[in-house]
Amino acid sequence: MAEPSKPLGDAVAEATEATSLPEPARRKKTGKAQDVFGGEMRRRDLLPLLIFHLIRGEPSYGNQLIDAIESLTQGVISVNPNTMYPLLRDLESRGMIEGSWEHPDKRTRRFYSITPAGEAAYQELLPEIEPFLDSVIRSVTMIKAEVYGSRAD
């Protein structure tokens, strides 16, 4: 049975290790760009929304979801396995997704699919997160206009 409901963002925040390194230092240390929106994406439940969205089409495993999110966002959002796997376990324990081993005897990849409770959560998150995404678009557009002006490409 699922645990009492707590905000998805709390689970993501608990699963995420905060870093105080500036972007260039993080890039040097990991060799990859980090999530430029940082904690705000986690607080806004964007990762659960993306997970639900991606597994609605077909079951996926953790690294596949990490790669799909990075590809979808062209590297702007890079999810650490130390964030993804605890989040997947939390969503599964809450009955929003269900996992099954590719080869149960070997415990290789665990494929996750959305449950009816996860579909309901997905439908609730859609209108909640859209204004945040719109504000990100507006902010980035204003930054670009401020820095680059209206020059022709």
**Would you state the structure tokens that stand for residue 144, as one six-digit string?**
């670009």
Position 153 in a domain: no
| Residue-level pLDDT at 76 | 87
* CA–CA distance, 11 with 70 (Å, rounded to integer): 21
Position 133 in a domain: no
Position 139 in a domain: no
| Residue-level pLDDT at 153 | 55
Q: Which domain holds residue 119?
A: 8-126
Q: Tell me, letter by letter, the H, E, C secondary structure of the chain.
A: CCCCCCCHHHHHHHHCCCCCCCHHHHHHHHCCCCCCCHHHHHHCCHHHHHHHHHHHHCCECHHHHHHHHHHHCCCCCCCCHHHHHHHHHHHHHCCCEEEEECCCCCCCCEEEEECHHHHHHHHHHHHHHHHHHHHHHHHHHHHHHHHHCCCCC
pLDDT digits (tens, 9 = 90+) for 67-99: 999 999 999 888 999 999 999 999 999 999 999
Position 141 in a domain: no
Position 132 in a domain: no
pLDDT above 80: residue 140:
yes
pTM, whole model, 2 decimals? 0.73
pLDDT digits (tens, 9 = 90+) for 105-116: 887 899 999 999
Position 73 in a domain: yes
Position 147 in a domain: no
pLDDT digits (tens, 9 = 90+) for 4-18: 455 565 544 444 433
Position 63 in a domain: yes
Nearest Cα to Cα of residue 89 among 81, 31, 104: 81
Question: What CATH number did the domain enclosing 13 receive?
Answer: 1.10.10.10
| Residue-level pLDDT at 105 | 84
| Residue-level pLDDT at 23 | 41
Number of folded domains in the chain? 1
pLDDT digits (tens, 9 = 90+) for 24-79: 333 444 444 444 565 666 667 899 999 999 999 999 999 999 999 999 999 988 89
